[in-house]
């Protein structure tokens, strides 16, 4: 998800890999159970790889629509000793398992144009649902009613995120929104995550 040059069409150009530091800062602050984790828009596996670098108790379900990502995603699983399964196809068309089914966490960076659809769908898949979003996603009358009944905890990234790989940061602030097991909340907490030195962000 990027605020620069990101259109609504999911294509090869709609690929904004999540920097590892953004995942690591979240995992340092938020305790999450081990077990089966879902990435609903896995791309080439950046989130999965970042989690696997610091945790060995996660088994993945990786969903991805774009066929051009499949080969790289499978190589990522092999090269980084990642366990789990890869499901190619449209995640939004997948039927959720029972709420207390195989997934305990869903950790995602979905296409911005479909963010609300992804959030609402992943809420049926796991008790812990976490999305990387622009901080200003909390705005707009369109989403007001949703947040009045499904308010997440918000973990703000102190450093701007670069989705380009060239070190140039995005034009807006980002955060992780964590929808926990207690659903139907009107309030949530806000935390600022730790600073990441520039050399680590690169």
pLDDT tens per residue, range 81-91: 999 999 999 99
Q: Identify the burial level of 68 via C-beta atoms within 10 angstroms of its C-beta, where 0-12 means exposed, 13-18 middle and 19 or more buried.
A: exposed
User: Quick one: angle between helices 46-54 and 70-79, nearest 10?
Assistant: 10
Mean pLDDT on 53-58: 96
Contact indicator for 19, 129 with CB cutoff of 8 Å: no
Output the domain CATH number for residue 181. Answer: 3.40.50.150
More confident residue, 102 or 25: 25
pLDDT digits (tens, 9 = 90+) for 103-162: 999 999 999 899 999 999 999 999 999 999 999 999 989 999 999 999 999 999 999 887
In a domain, 42, yes or no: yes
Assigned domain for 1 exists: no
Is 97 among the domain residues? Answer: yes
Instruction: Give yes or no for residue 165 having a pLDDT over 70.
Output: no
Res 15 pLDDT > 80: no
> What is the total count of domains within the chain?
1
Going from the C-alpha of 128 to that of each of 78, 106, 148, the distances in angstroms are: 26, 6, 18
Decide: 194 and 153 in contact? Cβ < 8 Å.
no
Domain with 89, as residue range(s), is 20-201
With cut-offs at 50, 70 and 90, classify the pLDDT of residue 187.
Answer: very high
Structure token digits, residue 28 = 């340092």
Q: Give tens-digit pLDDT for 17-49.
A: 899 999 999 999 999 999 999 999 999 999 999
Domain-located, residue 131: yes
In this prediction the pTM is 0.89
Look at strands 103-108 and 128-134 and give their pairing: parallel
Indicate whether 6 belongs to any domain.
no
> Is residue 155 domain-resident?
yes
| Nearest by Cα to 28 from 122, 128, 144, 157 | 157
DSSP string, 65-77: --GGGHHHHHHHH
194 inside domain: yes
> For residue 46, which of 162, 190, 139 has the smallest C-alpha distance?
162
């Amino acid at each position: 998800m990027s605020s620069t040059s990101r259109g609504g069409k999911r294509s090869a150009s709609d690929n904004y890999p999540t920097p590892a530091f953004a995942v690591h800062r979240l995992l340092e602050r938020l305790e999450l159970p081990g077990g089966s984790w879902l990435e609903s828009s896995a791309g080439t596996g950046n989130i999965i790889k970042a989690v696997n670098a610091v945790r060995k108790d996660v088994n993945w379900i990786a969903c991805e629509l774009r066929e051009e990502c499949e080969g790289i995603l499978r190589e990522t699983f092999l090269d980084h000793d990642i366990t789990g399964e890869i499901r190619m196809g449209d995640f939004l068309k997948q039927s959720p398992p029972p709420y207390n089914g195989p997934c305990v966490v869903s950790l995602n960076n979905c296409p911005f144009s479909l963010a609300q659809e992804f959030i609402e769908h992943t809420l049926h898949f796991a008790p812990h649902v976490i999305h990387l979003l622009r901080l200003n996603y909390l705005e707009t009358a369109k989403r007001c009613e949703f947040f009045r009944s499904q308010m997440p905890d918000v973990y703000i990234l102190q450093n701007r995120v670069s989705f380009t790989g060239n070190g140039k940061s995005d034009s807006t602030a980002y955060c992780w929104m964590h929808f926990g097991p207690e659903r139907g909340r009107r309030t949530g907490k806000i935390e600022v995550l730790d600073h990441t030195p520039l050399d680590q962000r690169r």
